Amino acid sequence: MPPEHDHEPRWNIIDKLYNKMDKTLDKAFIDNKCSFLEVEITMLMVQEKLAQQKHELYNMYLEQKDDKVEEKEEVKTDVPKDLYK
């Protein structure tokens, strides 16, 4: 995806995911006779998992950023390599 479109959600995927979740919730209400409280607790657990995934991705991003900064610092040399030989 081009960088200028990174922030645009892919609605076709969102719609498919929503439909799958909706069918699963309907089935849970009918087959398992779930209460609204049970479904809400499940949704809170899903939200927590998403938050954890976001934190992990953010940490990976920061680590990569730090690695790139260290690589750039190593490449920069003000003194020629053969100066002290």
Separation of alpha carbons 15 and 25, rounded Å: 15
Predicted confidence (pLDDT) per residue in 51-79, tens digit: 999 999 999 998 888 777 766 666 556 76
Residue 67 lies in a domain: yes
pTM of the model as a whole: 0.58
Query: Which amino acid, 14?
Result: I
Residue 51 belongs to some domain of the structure: yes
Residue 4 domain flag: no
- How many domains are contained in the chain? 1
* Per-residue tokens: 8: 């645009």
Share of the chain above pLDDT 70, in %: 75
User: 65 in a domain, yes or no?
Assistant: yes
